[in-house]
Every structure is written in C-alpha cells, then in structure tokens.
Chain A
Amino acid sequence: MEIYLPIAEISTNVFLLLGLGGAIGFLSGMFGVGGGFLMTPLLIFLGVPPTVAVGTGTNLIVAASVSGVMAHWRRGNVDFRMGSLLFSGGIGGAWLGVWLFKELREAGQIDLVISLFYVVFLAIVGTLMGAESVRAALRRNARKRRKAHQHNWFHGLPLKLRFRRSKLYVSALPPVVVGFLMGLLAAFMGVGGGFIMIPVMIYLIGMPTSVVVGTSLFGIVVVSTVSSFAHAVQNHNVDIILALLLAVGAVIGAQYGSRVGLRIKGEYLRGLLAVMVLAVGGRLLFDLVALPDDLFSATLMAMR
C-alpha cells in the first residue's frame, strides 16, 4: 500500500515505514537507546530528503520517549530541577541549531553537514561502545564498586543549586551547557542525544544512576519538542504522516525489543549495537567519499 508523504514529497510503502519504525523501536527497546541516530540515516537511505529526515526525527523522538518519561516519573526517578535547567539550555541550543540549519540549507550545504555530523558521531559512539563492551566482557568478574560520585572541577563552578532528587549540591552551569549542546545536536541530527547526556550526567555531574535515565529521557522529550517546533516554524521539514507511521511501529517494536534485550548479556548487546552503529556510519562515509553518479545537482531556489 503506497502512501504519499506530504512534506517529504515521496511515495513509500506504508508497511515499509511501519516495519522500519518497528525495527528501530525493537533496537531501542533492546539496547535502551533512543534510536534516533539510526533512524535519520535509514530514512536518508530510503530517499527521504535529509532535511525532512532530521525534522521528522525530532518529532518521532517525542513520541518514542514520552511513555518512558511517564513510567520514570511515576517511580519518582525524574529530577525536575535538573530537567528544567537542561530545558533552558536546550531551548537556546535548539533555536540556534535550527537557525544554522536553515542558513546551511539555503547555502546548499546542509546535506553534507548532516552526513558529516553523523559520520563523526557514529564513529565516536560506535568505537567507544565497542571498546567498552570488549573491556567489560574481558573483566566481567573483576568489577569494583564505584563511589557515589567523585568530586572534580565541575564542583568548583559558581551558581550552586541543591538538587534534592539527585542528592547533589552542584553548579547550575553544567546542566545548562549540556542542555544547550543537546539542543544543537537535536536540531542538526534529529536525535535525542541520550548517548551523550547519560555519560555526562553520571561521570561529570555525578548524578545517581537511578535518576539518570528518567531525567535524561525528560531532557530528551523537552529538547526534541523544542527543536521539532523550531524546525516546523523555520524549515517546514516535519512530516507528520511519516512521524506517526514510524512512531506506531516504534512503540510496538520497543515492547518486543525490551523483552529480547533482557535475555542477552549487556556487553554483547552493546557490542552488537556498536557494530551496527559503525556500519551505518561507514555507509554514510562511503556516500561522501565515493564518486557521485552526477557531480551536478539541480534544486529549486529558495524563495522564502
């Protein structure tokens, strides 16, 4: 069954989109990641214009993360004070990111920039994850207990605030800066950015792991909402039909993914995900380096 996507302006098979959403949902349920950083490249491979893939991705992440936030909220695992700081930084980052995105689009460089961002981030994330899973698999038995958190230079910054949920007394600056960077990433890549926020929260800010996932999901929903809105206003690149079809697939897929994920050892899961991330990044890099079919590309001039 073919469906015409009004903003992407291509016709695609409904079941292909549901299946793609399901596969990404399955992966995100299995690995516990947002999946946005796999979704955007796959949509590009499908023929969706990169700008629409990113704009729609921000919207999809809202749908994919909201039920997770509610579940964590019910269990009291969301630090809203931390979340609102992330939020305030995220708004600025998202608006700046979307504005830069628009300028680059009009200069004809946005497709390249999106691909470059992805190649770099997928390479970094894939390598780190792969190395970490190998290390974990090697010394599974010799695991040491960490301290609640270590004091580092982050804790010397001014503007200290008390975060009751996180049992912390730290500067308000790091969360705002992290939120800002996440907003930039969300705007440019259509990803939630959990894979960056979680390590920052644990290792730099020193939040207890129990509230990290809920709070980062809250931050993801908020930042994605802002960048989705900014994209819709400035770039008109959010395809609501595409987002909803993918979301339906993703919500269902996530349920089955999380069941499978419980049965596989964590380090193997991360190793598998690392391989997948590197494969997608490699394909994007190949497209940038290989001789294009046509060196010329013709596009309608932006009239706005």
Chain B
Amino acid sequence: MPGRAILAVALLAMLLPQALLTAPLSADDGMLVVDLLPRRIEVDSSFTGSTVILFGVKSVPGDIIVTLRGPEAPVVVRRKRRVAGIWVNRDAVAFRDVPQYYALAASRPIEAIMETEALDRNQIGTGHILLNTIWTRTADEIASFRVAVHRARERDGLYASEIGEIVVIDDSLFRATLSLPANVPTGEYVAETILVRDGEVLNRRESRLSVEKSGMSAEIFNFAKGQGALYGLIAIAAALVAGWVGGVAFRKN
C-alpha cells in the first residue's frame, strides 16, 4: 500500500526532519529509510551509559534486523596455565578487527528470519561475528579462544547478551532501542539496518554513530597519551604542591 508508506514518511519527516535531509529518497533505495538518534555520544566523567534509538520506514513488507558494531581493534586472548602452583598466562591467540561493541535487534527471532549460513555471511548475532586470527593455529585450538572473546565482551556488557526488540508500526514504521554501557569504547560505530524477506536481504542501510570522550577526563587522557613527558612533570608538580600544602596546613594547627 503506497499510500500508507507515504503517510508514514510524512509522519516521520514531521517528527524528525533530519531523517529525510540526510537520507534522501531515490528510486531504488526507497524501500528503506533509516536514521539514528543521537549521532554523537559524549562520554564525560559522569557518563553512566546511554541509549541509541534507530528508527525508520520501510515501504515493502519484510523483517528488520539492526546491528550496531563498535570500532574494531586487534585483541589478544591469553590462556592461563598452572606453573608451579601459580596461574600464569601461557598461550595466546590474536584476533584482528574484533568489534569492541556489538548489539543486535530484530523484529522477530533471528533464526526465524534467516538461515544460519546467511547469519554467518551477514555477521548477525554475537556468535556469527567473523574473528580472524593473526597467528595461525589449528581450528579446534582456536575455538575456545574465540568463545573467550565473546565471553569477555559479554561480561563487560559490551556484547549484548540478549537480542533487542524492534517495534514495527503499521508494517512500515519501525524503531529499535540499543543501549550502550558506561564502559563503552570510544570511536566510530556503524549501525546496519537490513530488510529481509524470505531469507533474502532486500536492502540495507548504514548509519554512523560516533562515541567521543569529552570534558576534563578526555582532555587528561589525551594529554597523558600524547604528551607523556609534560603530563609527567605536571603530575609531579601537582603531587609536590599537594604534599607541601598539606604539610604547611597542618603545621600551623
């Protein structure tokens, strides 16, 4: 029903105008319009986590899956072994391009939307994220290290353990709410929205989100990493002054 879709687009445009300004409709891509709010998250010293709302309109029937991936970085996984009674890091496997954050939302259970093979191909679900090793090892050795990456990220709340819900209104408007924990890594995030029908991807959209450190803590962090020598001198000066002031203050009492 094109009339309903137009109505939905109009409604969306009215409510949140930037959706249409930044994602102009073209003939081919018209079946999926998506935007993200907010586009930029600032992590300051009082940051306790945040939510991102992804909303959009689809003009054809089908299921919606949304993934949000954090910045990628190489990760080393180490396994402890007991050496002389003490647990020591012994074996290590390095993975390249591990997303530091991963969340997923779907309009129905993902297994009902797509075959496992397609989930793997599209890297949907934490179990389907592609993890390539940097050093070659045998496959079964690596499996336990690969699981360890997921477990560590899940424990830190960085890989959502549950699949989020997507609210679909009138089979055209949809909305997904994804949450970012307090310890969310900074960097560029990519939200991918895919429209699926009969197990086939009909259309996909990428939206970007940037998570940045802000405020004093960010400045201190960047300063400490960028200009270690100057930072070191300032830290020492601060310590000298603090100790001296403390000593003087209490001597007069």
Contacts and interface: CB of A to CB of B under 8 A. Distances in A.
Interface of A: 2-7, 9, 11, 59-60, 62-68, 70-71, 108-109, 112, 116, 225, 228-234, 236, 238, 240-241, 243-244, 247-248, 251-252, 255, 288-289, 291-292, 294-301, 303
A296 B154 CA distance: 13
A240 B243 CA distance: 14
A289 B86 CA distance: 5
Contacts of B79: 295-296
B94 A62 contact: no
Given A59-B239, A240-B238, A295-B80, A233 B221 contact: no
B240 interface: yes
B86 A228 contact: no
Interface size class, chain B: 35 or more
B242 A248 contact: yes
13 contacts: A62-B236, A67-B246, A70-B247, A112-B86, A229-B236, A238-B235, A255-B250, A288-B86, A292-B80, A297-B77, A301-B74, A301-B76, A301-B94
Interface of B: 44-48, 73-81, 85-89, 92, 94, 100, 144-145, 148-149, 151-153, 155, 182-183, 216-218, 220-221, 224-225, 228-229, 231-236, 238-240, 242-244, 246-248, 250-251
Contacts of A63: 238-240, 242-243, 246
A300 B74 contact: yes
B224 A238 contact: yes
Contact of A301 (B75, B85, B183, B221): B75
Nearest to A61: B239
Q: Is chain B's binding surface mostly helix, strand, loop or mixed?
A: helix
* Max chain A Cβ within 10 angstroms of own Cβ: one of B45, B100, B218: B45
